[in-house]
Chain A
Amino acid sequence: VRARRRGLRTAALAIALAAAVLVAACTPGRGRLATSSTTTVPPAASAAASSCTETPTQSLASFQPGNVSAEAARAQTIKGDVLVVGVSADTFRMGYRNPATAELVGFDVDILREVARALFGDPNRIEFKVVNFERRTGALEDRQVDLVAATMTITCGRWEQIDFSTEYLRAGRKLLVRSDDADRGIQTLDQLAGRRVCATRGGTSLASLQREHPEIQAVGHPDLTDCVVAFQQGDVDAIVSDDIILAGFAAQDPYARVVGPSMSDEPYGIGVRKGNVLLTQFVNRVLENLRAGTWRDLYRQHLGDVLDVPAQPPPAVYGRRP
């Protein structure tokens, strides 16, 4: 069995390489950082987390997949016989509970199921813990979960607390506006001068919104879903957040649209407990395999109808040293 798996792995690696090259060729702005999926960042840049700066090559760089066996990776999980993961339960299409079946479903959930499948040969050998946004890194640090996949952006700041897999989905900050505003051609924050725009209070988004766009009235809420309630009740005119999350809201409201060019890139990574390098490497191997095929199926299944972004898996960046 193991021999076959290794064979599969080699094949998958080859396909992933080819895919990454293809992706790099197709995405003009990203060619520089992804000449191949095994791109190795210069050692100086990847040395310590503290020297990390928010450039794609540095913050996105994860550990080389290498040849980590499922046994070795399993030994690094909390329970050993089941993968314990943290997900969101209210991010439509990414991680949410289907009210009809009470099952947790979504793109994030399925990516984690693929990891469970690779670890245990069964996508159902997985235990979900619902984590709030602000608890995503904490749940890992407190050993409550093995992995977290919950629309979490890879940043230098978070690298200091946890480790990340390679990027598995690329979101961008965009605007959610009312359909009549969208019809009027509103695309950017400048066009919303004097109007109320909602962002989450905790992170940097509200502060940067106030600083960079003094012409709008920034409104902060503790939770993004509170912004949606305010939006539907007419208290705010727009919401700034990741397009993938906003698309999930737009899917629940025919009078809401996600508009505009991306204001910033939000690369999503799977969080792993700091120092759990073998598990990170294993997850990176799984992601390599997914990029070769299943990724597109999952994307189509969960996000295809709500996002107009091309279904391309983001390329992997390696070069970080444990």
Chain B
Amino acid sequence: MSDTGQVTAPAPPPPAGAPVPSPAPAPAPAPAKRRAPGRRFSVLSGSTPARLSTLSAITVLAAVAFGIIGAVAVWARASALDDARLDAQQLVRLQSIRTNLVQADAAASNAYLAGGLEVPSQRRQYEERLAAAARDLALAAQAGGTEEAESFGAVNDTLVRYGGLIESARANNRQQFPVGAAYLRQGSRLLRTEVLPVLSSTSEITEGRVLDAYDASDRAGILFGVAVVAALVVLAGGQLLLARTVHRYINVQLAVATVAVLAATLIGLATMTWAQRRAEDVRQGPYAATAALAGARVSAYDAKSQESLTLIFQGSGGDDRVWQGHVDEAGRLLAMAESAGGDRITALDPWRQVHGEIRRLDDAGDWRGAVARATGTGPDSSNAVFDAFASASQAELDEQATAAADRLGTTHGILLGTAVLVLVAGAVAAVASFLGYARRLEEYR
């Protein structure tokens, strides 16, 4: 902008109702009363030097505008995709909090089922999972938006109460008091009514944010297009007018400016399109697989917990439908992850079979046999078989989440580079077009 101030020799005219922010220094007095076309007419109808300096100003401005707006557009896509990456990470974190909590609950109820002398490894697992959830919760609260901040606080509060209930259940169980089961049930219920739904709705908010980021990235493309078209029209139009005025067909500097803009446009379009396509691939590939796998793990652990709870509360062959619902949901999500390009995970099927055997034992009246199968640690116990699924799905989840983050991450660096390039190209074009018009103007002095 400061360049243009130096360039335009004529004194600034009275503000002639100009809707365009360019400092249209129209010297012609009379016809300036008309509006847009009139102003344009006035630009072209003054004395030749005045006309040229006006054209020069507009062109330089357009080049600068191209550099700035184009760079902003590219940067906007870069940062939108970075937001998408961060929100995708947040989503994984939120789902892992849910998984950890359900896992802690599954471990607590499984340990309870084993009686007052609980298995130390399960006790440890409960503590580790709960601690991991608490850690992730702090990170998630930091990374989350303001609209969820309150939810995280509430979840934290409830988790403290949950831990208290589970400890009371253990203490009573240790004294062989059946009232411990009531504490365990209240704890499980608290987790499922006041913690998991809140986390699941924050997950939904976060998923929505990922989609918003993708939309923002789309809009950045439109902005870039507008900047390109405007700059090219002004540059081309300026050269056409200049050629008519001075009867020379090639102005080297203006040609350089045009080439700079064109080159930046091509590179910008190429990287932006590439980045968007890559992001789209991530969304339908690793990101979709990550979200589905994380959900599948939550459902599977929920089912595992339900297996123990059913035995503890002994609906006796009663409510296995809750288990079935969780397992079906896990299966559906695993299939979804697979169709998004993830590996096929079959480790849930063997556990289904073990669970079926546990139910058969319990329904036939062999509760103790069922409990032994459910709480044992042998190779064909429910715990061991489920662990196979847990580690297989965890490995696949890690792989997909890393792939999503990495692929979105590379777009960021390349787009930022492109933004700088566009900015530089805009500056080069501005300087070149200023010089181009200055040469012609000198001829009139």
Which A residues lie at the B interface, using CB under 8 A? 84, 89-92, 96-100, 102, 127-132, 135, 223, 225-226, 228-229, 232, 249, 252-253
Contact = CB atoms under 8 A, between A and B. Distances in A.
Contacts of A252: 172, 175, 177-179
B173 A99 contact: yes
B367 A92 contact: no
B314 A89 contact: yes
Contact of A131 (B165, B176, B316): B316
Contacts of A102: 115, 367-368, 371
Contacts of B116: 99-100
User: Could you tell me the dominant secondary structure of chain A's interface residues?
Assistant: mixed
Nearest to B182: A225
A15 to B, nearest CB: 34
B237 interface: no
Nearest to B173: A99
Nearest to B112: A99
B182 A99 contact: no
A229 B315 CA distance: 21
B365 A99 contact: no
A52 to B, nearest CB: 30
A182 B179 CA distance: 22
B314 A130 contact: yes
B182 A129 contact: no
A156 to B, nearest CB: 28
User: Which of B173, B183, B371 has the most chain A CB atoms inside 10 A of its CB?
Assistant: B183
Contacts of B168: 229, 232
Given A225-B182, A229-B165, 16 more contacts: A84-B365, A90-B178, A92-B178, A96-B178, A97-B178, A99-B176, A100-B116, A102-B115, A102-B368, A127-B365, A129-B365, A226-B186, A229-B179, A232-B168, A252-B172, A253-B179
Contacts of A249: 179
Contacts, number: 64
A223 B186 CA distance: 11
B74 interface: no
A97 B173 CA distance: 11
Nearest to B371: A102
B182 A223 contact: yes
Contact of A229 (B175, B186, B314, B317): B186
Nearest to A96: B178
A32 B238 CA distance: 119
A102 B176 CA distance: 10
B314 to A, nearest CB: 4
A249 B318 CA distance: 26
A229 B183 contact: yes
B181 interface: yes
Contacts of B316: 129-131
A228 B182 contact: yes
Given A128-B365, A130-B314, A130-B316, A90 B182 contact: yes
User: Which of B175, B176, B178, B316 has the most chain A CB atoms inside 10 A of its CB?
Assistant: B178
Contacts of B115: 99-100, 102
A151 B429 CA distance: 92
A82 to B, nearest CB: 8
A225 B176 contact: no
A319 to B, nearest CB: 35
A225 B181 contact: yes
Nearest to B186: A229
10 contacts: A84-B365, A90-B178, A90-B181, A91-B178, A92-B178, A99-B173, A99-B178, A100-B115, A130-B316, A253-B179
Contacts of B315: 130, 132
Nearest to B180: A99
A253 B177 CA distance: 9
Contacts of B313: 89
B237 to A, nearest CB: 78
Contacts of A128: 365, 367
Interface in B65-123: 115-116
A228 B179 contact: yes
A232 B180 CA distance: 12
Contacts of A99: 115-116, 173, 176, 178
B271 to A, nearest CB: 61
B177 A92 contact: yes
Contacts of B177: 92, 252
User: Which of B168, B175, B182, B367 has the most chain A CB atoms inside 10 A of its CB?
Assistant: B182
Nearest to A93: B178
Interface string B168-194: 100011011111011101100000000
User: Which of B165, B172, B175, B316 has the most chain A CB atoms inside 10 A of its CB?
Assistant: B316
A223 B182 CA distance: 9
Nearest to B164: A233
Contacts of A100: 115-116, 176
Contacts of A90: 178-179, 181-182
Interface string B299-327: 00000000000000111111000000000
Contact of B182 (A97, A127, A131, A226): A226
Nearest to A98: B176
A54 B177 CA distance: 35
B250 to A, nearest CB: 89
B305 to A, nearest CB: 19
A128 B141 CA distance: 49
Contacts of B368: 102
A131 B319 CA distance: 12
B365 to A, nearest CB: 4
- Which are the 5 A-B pairs with shortest beta-carbon distances? A225-B182, A130-B314, A252-B177, A127-B365, A99-B176
A253 B172 CA distance: 10
Nearest to B366: A127
B365 A229 contact: no
Contacts of A229: 165, 168, 179, 182-183, 186
Nearest to B161: A233
A252 B182 CA distance: 13
B270 to A, nearest CB: 64
User: Which of A92, A99, A127, A226 has the most chain B CB atoms inside 10 A of its CB?
Assistant: A99
Nearest to B365: A127
A248 B177 CA distance: 10
Nearest to B113: A102
A228 B172 CA distance: 12
Contacts of A91: 178
A93 to B, nearest CB: 10
User: Which of A90, A98, A249, A253 has the most chain B CB atoms inside 10 A of its CB?
Assistant: A90
A131 B367 CA distance: 14
A98 B173 CA distance: 10
